[in-house]
Amino acid sequence: MQRGEEIYSGKAKSVFKSDRDDALILHFRNDTSAFDGERIEQLDRKGMVNNKFNAFIMQHLEANGVSTHFIELLSDTESLVRRLDMIPVECVVRNVASGSICKRLGIEDGMTLSPPTFEFFLKNDALHDPMVNESHIATFGWADPEAVAYMQKTTLQVNDILSKLFADSGMLLVDFKLEFGKQGDQLFLGDEFSPDGCRIWDIETREKLDKDRFRKGLGGVVEAYEAVASRLGLAL
C-alpha cells in the first residue's frame, strides 16, 4: 500500500491518501499534546504504541458488533482506515468523575457516576471544544437526528464492551471520547481509541495510566501506555 498526499495533520496523527479511493492511511506520530495543543512534546515509541493499541481496540469492538473505520495495520505506525465524512461532534462517556466535569459541576474527583454520564462536545480547538446538546446539533446541521441517536447508542454500547475488557485486566475505564463519520449512508466509529483519548486507572491503586500523566507532569507516559497494553494481552 503506497502512501499518497497528506490531506490532514492533527495534534498527534496525520492522514494520507492511499491506493484506494474509499480508504486512507492513518499515521500515528510521536507528538504528544495537552491543553488544546498549547504544550507539545515528542515521546519515543508513542506513535507505535497508539497505532497498535487502537488496532487492538477496534478489532475487539468489531468482534462485538460495533462498525469501525479500521481495516488493517500497515506498519508499526500506520493503519488503513475507511475514508469517512467526519461529524464535528465528540461523544464523551464518564464512568468516574475526573477532569473538566469536576470543575464544571463542582463534584469530587473520583466519584463513581451511576449511571454513566453522556455528553456531546463540538470538535473545535479554537473554542476549547465547548459542550453542546441535541438542539445545537440540529440547529447548526452538524448531524441528523438518526445519526445523533446512533452515536449516543453506540457510544454507550462501546462503554459496556470496553469497561468489561479493562475491568477484567484490573483497570478502570474512567472516561473516553469517540468520533463518528459516514461513508455513503453508513455510520462508522472513526478517529482512534488509545490512552490519548481516555482515562484509565488501576482499579485498586487508582494510579493514572493515560495522558493525564503528561498533562500533570507525572512522567512515564509511554511506559504507562505499554503497561495498559500488556495487561490487555497486547504484545507490542
The domain boundary residue, chosen from 53, 82, 111: 82
Chain position carrying cell 500515528: 28
Residues 173, 89 within the same domain = yes
Asked whether residue 227 is domain-assigned, the answer is: no
The domain boundary residue, chosen from 32, 55, 82: 82
Asked whether residue 233 is domain-assigned, the answer is: no
Which domain CATH number covers 196? Answer: 3.30.470.20
The domain boundary residue, chosen from 82, 106, 137: 82
Residues 109, 152 within the same domain = yes
What's the domain range around 109?
85-219
Asked whether residue 231 is domain-assigned, the answer is: no
Q: What is the pLDDT of residue 36?
A: 63
Q: What is the pLDDT of residue 1?
A: 82
14-62 per-position pLDDT tens digit = 999 999 999 999 999 999 877 665 678 899 999 999 999 999 999 999 9
Asked whether residue 225 is domain-assigned, the answer is: no
91 neighbors 152 (Cβ within 8 angstroms): yes
33-44 per-position pLDDT tens digit = 776 656 788 999
Which domain CATH number covers 32? Answer: 3.30.200.20
Residues 107, 156 within the same domain = yes
Residues 72, 90 within the same domain = no
Asked whether residue 89 is domain-assigned, the answer is: yes
Residues 122, 101 within the same domain = yes
Residues 43, 146 within the same domain = no
Taking 50 as the pLDDT cut, the residues of the chain under it are none
Residues 63, 173 within the same domain = no
Q: How many domains does the chain have?
A: 2
